[in-house]
Structure 1
Amino acid sequence: MSQNTLESWTDGSAKQAILDFVTARLEQPLPPQFDFVFRTWAEEAKADPSLAARQPYKAVLGQDREFFKGVAAQDPQVLATLLEAFTHSWAGTTPQEFDAQVRAWMTTVKHPTLGVPYTGLVYRPMLELFDFLHANRFRVFVCSGDGRDFMRVFAEETWGIPKENVIGSAAAYTYSDGRLLRSGELLGSLDLGAGKPEHIYAHTGRLPVLAGGNADVDIEMLAAARFALLVDHDDEQREFAYTAGAETSMAKAAQLGWAVVSMKNDWTTVF
């Protein structure tokens, strides 16, 4: 918010009430993948009206704020609904076909509030941390509750992290007649909560040395690491200020001595 906000108003209860209400409207943003899939589901529901009564199509068409809060907070029940629709939408596609759709979205779609492509909303301090870790012989992985195959394209294109170092909730694949095709089934469990250290170990054969997170669904992964880093989204001027879905993790950080990163105070540059 500008330092000159309501500069002709004297400080007082009326001005503060307005500021509190307006800044409270800055809600927790959705992960980029959901912009990609919500556009697809809206088109599918228009083509097949029978879908409109089912979640998540109903929420997408009706702009259901409560449902979206569950998405932003990575509520396991909500995400299970999303992944069911996700596997339905892309069942039978090849990895190459799916990758091409993600790349097309990355080059054409802009963030609805910030007005820039999602590829321009990468946190510079995190890229610098990746470089620092690489320089000190760490291997860097992404462990996301979002769909693994979307994150593989996004991470490789924007963060320079290769696909094989991306862990996440994923559809199973079948191989037939020389083609690898996405099935309609989920591969294993959701990559949330305890699923994160489970998936990390299954993928790498190790638990993390250093782990970074920003939400309650990251608690188990952070607890499994030797060094835990929790990012606090507290910068309402340069990004968004929100705590939904991170209240328990902040309490855990204080209890267990995790390092907490204030975006507002610890990062001189965000994007």
Structure 2
Amino acid sequence: MSTSHLESWNDGAAKRAIVDFVTSAAAEGTPGFVPRADRVAVFDNDGTLWVEKPAPVQTAFILGKLAARVKEDPSLADEWPYRAVAGDESFLHALEVQDADAVTSMVEAVGAAWEGTSLDAYEAEAARYLASWRHERFGLPATGLVYQPMLELFDYLRAAGWRVFVCSGGGRDFMRVISEETWGLPRENVIGSAPEFAWRDGVPVRQAVLHGPVAIGPGKPEYVLARTGRLPRFAAGNDDVDVELLASAQFALLVVHDDDVREYAYTDGAERVRATARREGWTTVSVKDDWNAVLKERPTQEEPSAPHQ
């Protein structure tokens, strides 16, 4: 099978493992064959498909909305997660490493903040934010922070008959705003944390309660199973909340952030997944060694920053 799609991947163990698995999955009559109906590949988003440091892309969007709520109701200022608006570093760090309690409280606050908002209004608000937001180090919009090697991997998998999905603890509806333009994925292939909707006056509006669990940890394979009727055969992630997703797949791909020149180097929030990868023999991808290009767009500045530990 041609590897022309994987131009940003250096020849090495990670690329060979991917090619060997995908090639074997397409070889009918062999032990590694995967029927087309079962060729489901699922990717985490933050830190797996695009840069998540110094904070996930969606963070400022959410904090701005929470700040508006605090302005309307100052009594919220002392509650978690509204304290993050004032720069509560402990909460922001917990959110950065996707601590389950922090993520859950943030998702609940997001539900309350946008309750009663129509889907169109929410997406327009998200689109305005994404159009104006720029990364503080690279000067790029969110769509430019996507990892070029992962886009190539999407193309490679699809050429081999795989259906590609994104499943993230971040807002499903936020990601869908850019999924077709940025990833080439139809909106229905983006799954994860999302609110319930109610039908009012002929339009769907957001409710405060979640539709299912938060899409971290075991919530990820639960969402995949609910959406596809299958567990993934190929899965990719980068931190501890992806362990269950990776463990549910036949082939697990772990992105290791170790390049503080072209991106960031950090281990926080990924200790358990790295230990599990070593124990289970999962394929690991070194950003520094396995990718000859990193971002979809060239940064306006490429100054090294101190690595996150």
TM-score (norm 1): 0.87
2:18 maps to what in 1? none
Q: Does 1:55 align with 2:80?
A: yes
Measured against aligned partners, the alpha-carbon deviations of 1:9-55 in whole angstroms (never above 9, x if no partner) come to xxxxxxxxxxxxxxxxxx94322111211122223323332221112
1:43 maps to what in 2? 68
Among 243, 254, 275, the alignment partner of 1:219 is 243
2:89 maps to what in 1? 65
2:220 maps to what in 1? 196
Deviates more, 1:152-161 or 1:138-147: 152-161
Measured against aligned partners, the alpha-carbon deviations of 1:201-226 in whole angstroms (never above 9, x if no partner) come to 01110000100000111111101101
CA RMSD of aligned residues (A): 1.4
2:157 maps to what in 1? 133
Q: 1:164 is paired with a residue of what secondary structure?
A: helix
For 1:138 and 1:167, locate their aligned partners in 2 and report how far apart those are by CA, in whole Å: 17
For 2:293 and 2:283, locate their aligned partners in 1 and report how far apart those are by CA, in whole Å: 19
Measured against aligned partners, the alpha-carbon deviations of 1:76-127 in whole angstroms (never above 9, x if no partner) come to 1001110111011111111111111111111111112322212211110000
Q: Does 1:165 align with 2:189?
A: yes
Contact 1:91–1:181 (8 Å) recurs in 2: yes
For 1:44 and 1:156, locate their aligned partners in 2 and report how far apart those are by CA, in whole Å: 31
Which structure is higher in helix share?
1
For 1:164 and 1:142, locate their aligned partners in 2 and report how far apart those are by CA, in whole Å: 10
Measured against aligned partners, the alpha-carbon deviations of 1:228-267 in whole angstroms (never above 9, x if no partner) come to 0000011101111111110110111111110000001100
Rate the CA distance shift 1:113–1:44 in 2: closer, same or farther, 3 A: farther
For 2:236 and 2:147, locate their aligned partners in 1 and report how far apart those are by CA, in whole Å: 13
Q: 2:129 is paired with a residue of what secondary structure?
A: helix
Residue 136 of structure 1 and its aligned partner are, at CA, apart by: 0.7
Aligned length: 244
2:148 maps to what in 1? 124
For 1:232 and 1:203, locate their aligned partners in 2 and report how far apart those are by CA, in whole Å: 28
Residue 143 of structure 1 and its aligned partner are, at CA, apart by: 0.6
For 1:28 and 1:109, locate their aligned partners in 2 and report how far apart those are by CA, in whole Å: 14
Among 43, 58, 61, the alignment partner of 1:33 is 58
Contact 2:221–2:231 (8 Å) recurs in 1: yes
For 1:130 and 1:85, locate their aligned partners in 2 and report how far apart those are by CA, in whole Å: 33
Structure 2 residue identity aligned to 1:32: V
Structure 2: unaligned runs, 5 residues or longer: 1-51, 296-309
Structure 2 residue identity aligned to 1:156: E
Structure 1: unaligned runs, 5 residues or longer: 1-26
TM-score (norm 2): 0.76
Structure 2 residue identity aligned to 1:101: E
Structure 1 residue ranges (4+ consecutive) displaced by more than 4 angstroms after TM superposition: none
